[in-house]
């Protein structure tokens, strides 16, 4: 792995008692990796990430994992806000308009495996920016290969077949970790990740996928927030 230390000034100490329990995947949506690197290290911009991976597989390490980078913004997962407090952010050099490059994905797998092992984060702790902030963000988008990560034990993927109950869909999403509000935005984020290209109202396939994920990876939100 071509890992380069390129420190960003945009970080703070994590609040007492907080440690990484999520990894958030982003795309940069900028014209070049160099432009993204400059912005993530610009004190005026007040944004950062722990890592940036170029399309050629080069990795820039900008913030130490023990510190709080400023990548998630206003966000919620499993009923808890301020995702920056408890997450590691990885930016991928991509504008969301094309598939993610093979060297980039291969290095992402290596980096994720290291992070999950180092912090004891389970596969369900790897999420997209759109999962935690569905009203504001679309990254990493429908072109990102979540299933590939799941095959390596680095994320989750449904095993469901058949049909589910659409009336149970929102409750199952809540158990997975998705926010309760903005149901249309949450549905789009869910589909971009697990059913790219699906349209229309919540259907039985959405419901079957959500039930499978909730039963295998869901948590009691009240317990998780305690």
Residues forming the active site? 91
187 touches 207 (CB < 8 A)? no
Q: How far is CA 174 from CA 181, 194, 207, 221, in A?
A: 10, 16, 13, 8
- For the chain, the residue count is 226
The one-character DSSP state at 96 is S
Strand order in the sheet with 126-128: 3-5, 59-61, 51-53, 87-92, 22-27, 126-128
* Strand duo 11-13 + 3-5: pairing: unpaired
Burial bucket for residue 44 (CB in 10 Å: 0-12, 13-18, 19+): exposed
Interatomic CA distance for residues 67 and 85, integer angstroms: 9
> Is the preceding omega at residue 140 within 30 degrees of 0, hence cis?
yes
């Amino acid at each position: 792995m071509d890992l380069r230390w390129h420190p960003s000034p945009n970080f703070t100490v994590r609040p007492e008692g907080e440690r990484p329990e999520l990894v958030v995947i982003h795309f940069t949506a900028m014209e070049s990796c160099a432009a993204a690197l400059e912005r993530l290290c610009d004190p005026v911009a007040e944004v950062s990430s722990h890592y940036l991976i170029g399309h050629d597989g080069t990795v820039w390490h900008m913030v130490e994992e023990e510190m709080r980078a400023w990548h998630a913004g206003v966000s919620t997962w499993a009923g808890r806000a301020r995702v920056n407090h408890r997450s590691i952010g990885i930016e991928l050099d991509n504008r969301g308009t094309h598939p993610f490059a093979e060297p980039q994905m291969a290095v992402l797998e290596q980096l994720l495996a290291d992070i999950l092992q180092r912090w004891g984060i389970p596969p369900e702790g790897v999420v997209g920016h759109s999962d935690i902030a569905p009203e504001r963000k679309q990254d990493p988008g429908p072109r990102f290969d979540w299933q590939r990560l799941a095959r390596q034990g680095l994320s989750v993927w449904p095993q469901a077949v058949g049909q589910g109950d659409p009336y149970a869909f929102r409750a199952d999403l809540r158990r997975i970790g998705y926010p309760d509000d903005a149901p249309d935005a949450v549905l789009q984020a869910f589909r971009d990740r697990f059913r790219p290209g699906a349209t229309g109202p919540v259907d039985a396939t959405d419901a079957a996928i959500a039930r499978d994920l909730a039963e295998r990876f869901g948590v009691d939100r009240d317990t998780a927030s305690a």
